[in-house]
Structures are given as structure tokens and as C-alpha cells.
Amino acid sequence: MLKKTLLVLLVLFILCGVIGYKFYGYIFNPNITLSSNQQALFIKSKTNLEDLIKQLSDAKILKDTKSFEWVADKMQFKNIKPGKYIIQNNWNNKDLVSLLRSGRQSEVKLTFNNVRTIEELAGAISKIMEADSLAFLDAFLDEELLNEKGLNKATALSLFIPNTYQVYWSQEPEKVVNRLIKEHEKFWNPQRLEQAKALELKPEEVYTLASIVQKETNVNSEKPTIAGVYLNRLKKNILLQADPTVVFAVGDFGIRRVLNKHLEFDSPYNTYMYEGLPPGPIFMPDISSIDAVLKREKHNYLYFCASPDNSGKHQFAKTLTQHNNNANKYRRWLNKQRIYK
């Protein structure tokens, strides 16, 4: 009788050991398989556990789905927090559940530049973030926000300084906008505000002028000189006559040569027709262009024209006669290159 009892106990002990080893394996054995040492896992908002398991299964991240489900249940993992998570190859279920349950998501780099409009900015940011472009556009054009900042739809782009920012992938557009506004306020420090005041321009007007300078040249050393030309013209109430504003007005960004028919296009952005700055920026200027306006070169130039040598540089003139000579040389060069439109 004693032997039978001992035998039963031994069988139960072994059985418990097998079961225990199985569940130990569920928890601690590697169950995450990746093609590299680590990988980003993006979990969308409103994802439930069933959705998450399907996502992990479809991506072939889990070796054993059932063991993950069991560990998730035992660890009471029910509230799925959206975001970007960096997971490691050969993690066990406990490692993955612990990370996701904690909500310790990784930041993403939000970089934007080279956009013409607030709509393009919304589209560019939506490619990096979870929210779509319409949600970001609504946040950018929030009427209360624009009124508070003294802006409108045409000048809304001036709120955003091109750079690289660290944000969370799942952040709501309103929170992203608030973050970018704080960066805008940091950028417009007392020194820059004083420089803008000396030019008798508001920050958004500096931004608009910088957008024209940006589209006029890729040569950073020329930017303060070109900014000086436009500021001289503004001071003398002379039409800016900036070709990039005409291109923006027409909306054909493939134009290489501005023609008379373009100059006749009626738009408040056509600075050949309307005095002063256009209603808002025609492009997102980089920081070098903004600072070029703030630190414009003081000179007597009122005109400039592209150099006929494909260098990207310009020839500057103080008189219309000098400018016409330069312009004629450039036109002849364009004709020689067969650039007619």
C-alpha cells in the first residue's frame, strides 16, 4: 500500500514538474523572433488584445501565439497602450508583455521642411505620425489658436520652424501643435524679436519674406544680400517683383522662366501687381533664410538677376539701367539653353 502511494505521489510530482516546466517555458523561453536584433512595433489607438495578437501573428513575430495569450492573461494585460515600441529578438513573453503594459513607447523623429503650404505640412507630418493629414490640418487651422496668435490661414505656416523634433508616434495632433508652438516661441527669442522690430516687421512677416529669399537662391552667402534688396524696396514702396511669388500664384511649380502671361496673373501673391509682402509665406523657409532676413546686408541695391553661368548666383544692381543690362544677358543665356518656359 505504501509503495502504491509513493508511486502515485511520484507520478503526480513528475506530472506537476512537466506542467510547471511547460508554464515556465511559456513565461521565460524566447518567443519573439525577428529578422534583426530589434524592431519597431507600432500599435494603433483603440487596439484590443485580440487585434494585437493578430498583428503579432501576421508579422510572424511570435513563435507560439497560445503561450503569449496565456502569459498576457496571467499578467492581466488588457489595456493596450498605442505607440511605437522597440522590441528585441529572442525576448520571452514576459519581456514583451511587461514593455507593452508599461506603455514605455519610444519617440520618433519628426522632421519637416521643403513644403509650400499648410496642407503639404499636414501631409508630411501624417506620414510620420499615427493621425491622418486631415486631423493635423484641423489642428493647424484651429480658429481659436490662430486668433490667439494673430494669424490666419495664409500665415499659419509661419508657426512652424523647420527642424527635427522628438515626439511620440501616437500623440494627438493638438499636443503635437502645442509642442511645435513652444519650439516656435523658443526660436523667436528676445534677440530675434528685437531684430524683427528693427526692420519694422512682425515675425510672420519676416517668415514670409524669408520664404521668398529661400526660393530665390540656394546660395546661403547670397541670402542676406537678397533680403537687403527686398527690404530696400519695401522701404521705398517699390513693388517687390519677386518671380517666386508669381510662380506660387500661378500654381505651376515647373516654371523655369517667368513670362509676361505669368506676370499678368491676378493674385494677391503676385508681387508684380500688388505692393508689399504677399498675404503669407510661399514656402517653408529654413532657419538660414529667416536669419538672413533678420541680419540682412545693408546696401543700396534695388535689383538682382540670376547670373548667366548656371552657378545659381546673382548679379546685383543699384539702377534700373544696370539691372536691364544684367537681365538681357540672362535672357540671352536662357535662349541659348533653349529654356523658353
Tens-digit pLDDT profile for residues 143-180: 999 999 999 999 999 999 999 999 999 999 999 999 99
Domain identity same for 57 and 170: no
What SS3 state is found at 52?
helix
d(CA 261, CA 246): 10
Is residue 8 in a domain? Answer: no
The alpha carbon dihedral of 192, 196, 198, 202 has a sign of: negative
d(CA 101, CA 122): 31
* Residue 327: pLDDT over 90: no
The pLDDT-based confidence of 312 (bands split at 50, 70, 90) is confident
Helix axis angle for 133-140 and 173-187, nearest 10°, is 50
Domain identity same for 195 and 168: no
Plot region of 200 (φ>0 → left; ψ -120 to 50 → alpha; else → beta): left
C-alpha cell at 2: 505504501
Domain stop point among 172, 187, 202: 187
Is residue 72 in a domain? Answer: yes
Domain stop point among 164, 187, 210: 187
What integer best gives the mean pLDDT of the chain? 90
Domain identity same for 163 and 183: yes
Domain range for residue 121? 108-187
d(CA 173, CA 210): 26
The pLDDT-based confidence of 27 (bands split at 50, 70, 90) is low
Domain identity same for 85 and 134: no
d(CA 30, CA 305): 67
C-alpha cell at 271: 508681387
Domain identity same for 203 and 307: yes
Q: φ and ψ at 163, to 5 degrees? A: -175, -170
The two beta strands, 164-168 and 107-111, are antiparallel
Query: Which segments of 169-259 does DSSP mark as H helices, in order?
Result: 173-187, 190-198, 203-216, 223-235, 243-250
Domain identity same for 213 and 278: yes
Domain identity same for 220 and 317: yes
Is residue 13 in a domain? Answer: no
pLDDT above 70 covers a percentage of the chain that reads 91
Domain stop point among 160, 187, 214: 187
The pLDDT-based confidence of 21 (bands split at 50, 70, 90) is very low
Domain identity same for 131 and 262: no
Domain identity same for 168 and 72: no
User: Residue 48's domain is classified under what CATH number?
Assistant: 3.30.1490.480
Domain identity same for 304 and 181: no
* Residue 15: pLDDT over 60: no
Domain identity same for 90 and 225: no
Mean pLDDT of 24-42: 82
* Residue 7: pLDDT over 60: no
d(CA 86, CA 96): 10
d(CA 303, CA 48): 63
The model's pTM is 0.87
Is residue 68 in a domain? Answer: yes
Q: Identify the residue with better confidence: 52 or 11.
A: 52
C-alpha cell at 137: 490640418
Residue that has been written with the C-alpha cell 502511494 in this structure: 5
Please tell me the predicted confidence (pLDDT) of residue 117.
Answer: 96
C-alpha cell at 203: 515675425
Domain identity same for 172 and 209: no
Q: How many domains does the chain have?
A: 3
The two beta strands, 314-317 and 83-88, are unpaired
* Residue 13: pLDDT over 80: no
Please tell me the predicted confidence (pLDDT) of residue 160.
Answer: 97
